[in-house]
Amino acid sequence: MLIIVIKSLIIGALGGLAVSAGAARMFHAPEVQAMGAFRTMGELNACKGDPIAHFTFGLGFFFNAAGSIVGSGALTQDVLHRIIPNWSAGVLLLKNKKVEETLYHPGSMAVVGAFVGAITVAALNSVASLIPANLSAIAQGILGPASAVMIETIMPIIFILAAIDAGKTTGVWGIVLGGISHVIMGNATPGAVLGIIIGQSIQDNGYNKSVKIMITIVVVLFALIGYFREFWANLLSIVTAAF
């Protein structure tokens, strides 16, 4: 238990520092390279200046994260996207309501973020570690089959449909790369994702140099994965057996 808390404090401090500084940098983008997410920036703006708004917004996602980590061990993306940036901003705003002197300052956000992150991650991981084993066995019994269907069927379908809905070129790339990726690696999602990126770039800019580089990378990637998963050997044996 103690070792889990110590590790969680270290992880949370590192992540909290970096993600809070990254969030502050968002207000200086695009000149300054930031990290976070557009929705994080929008949400920070939405409760701008009001510490209570930042705290309650984060708290809602904290309960979600607690439920998720008890059930599946996943902290959810909200810990880094929403909880830590909003709580760090809230702490800073308690002292000074001017966002230009608090939320927009990566230095202050980094320092506060390290503490907020350490406490948040340690609290969530401690909750998870206190859950008795039979409870997590039940969670696994329920979540396991659901996520298997999710990964093997629903996600590939959604990503291929998204490609189809995005136009002819993207649709064709999504279907073809998605299909090939299901044949080679047993899951269409990665291929459909790559198909969407390539198809959209072609639709927007035509077959320029960066698209060609991208296609080359994808072909090499698929060829290599096929080799390691013995796809080519299997294909060869099927073809030779046919003749």
Partner 1 sequence: MKKLNNLLLKNSTFPILVALLCSAIFAGGHMFVKYGFGFFNEIAQAEMVRQGIQTGDFAAPVGFAAGFIIARVLEGPLVGILDIGGSLMTGVGTGFVSLFLASGLGFVVDNFLLSLLAGVGIGLVIGIIIIAVKKAMPSGMAASGTNIMMGAGNATGRYLGPLIILSAAKYSIPAGIGAIIGAAIFFKMKKEIVGGVIIGAMIFAVLFPVTVGG
> What mask of x and - would describe binding to partner 1 in positions 123 to 152, judged by CB under 8 A?
-xx--xx----xxx-xx-xxxxxxxxxxx-
State how far the alpha carbon of 204 is from the alpha carbons of 38, 200, 232, in Å: 22, 6, 34
CB 144 within 8 A of CB 27: no
Shortest Å, Cβ 50 to partner 1: 20
Nearer to partner 1, 125 or 240 (CB): 125
CB 154 within 8 A of CB 185: no
Cis peptide before 30 (omega within 30 of 0): yes
Round to whole Å and give the CA distance between 47 and 57.
8
Per CB under 8 A, contacts with partner 1 among 203-222 are 204-205, 208-211, 214, 217, 221
CB 175 within 8 A of CB 163: yes
Is residue 42 within the footprint of partner 1 (CB under 8 A)? no
> Tokens 């019994």 — which residue?
141
* Options 16-24, 45-53, 91-99, 233-241: segment touching partner 1 (CB under 8 A): 16-24
Per CB under 8 A, contacts with partner 1 among 152-171 are 154-155, 158-159, 161-163, 165-166, 170
Is residue 95 within the footprint of partner 1 (CB under 8 A)? no
Is residue 83 within the footprint of partner 1 (CB under 8 A)? no
Tokens of 44: 């920070």
List the one residue from 26, 89, 112, 116 that touches partner 1 (CB under 8 A). 26
Is residue 44 within the footprint of partner 1 (CB under 8 A)? no
Total number of residues binding partner 1 (CB under 8 A)?
110
Round to whole Å and give the CA distance between 126 and 101.
34
Terminal C-alpha separation, the chain: 62
Shortest Å, Cβ 90 to partner 1: 19
Is residue 194 within the footprint of partner 1 (CB under 8 A)? yes
Shortest Å, Cβ 49 to partner 1: 19
Neighbours of 226 (CB within 10 A): 18
List the one residue from 47, 69, 93, 112 that touches partner 1 (CB under 8 A). 69
Tokens of 187: 């899951």
Tokens of 37: 């997410």
Round to whole Å and give the CA distance between 71 and 139.
5
Nearer to partner 1, 30 or 239 (CB): 30
Shortest Å, Cβ 58 to partner 1: 14
Shortest Å, Cβ 176 to partner 1: 15
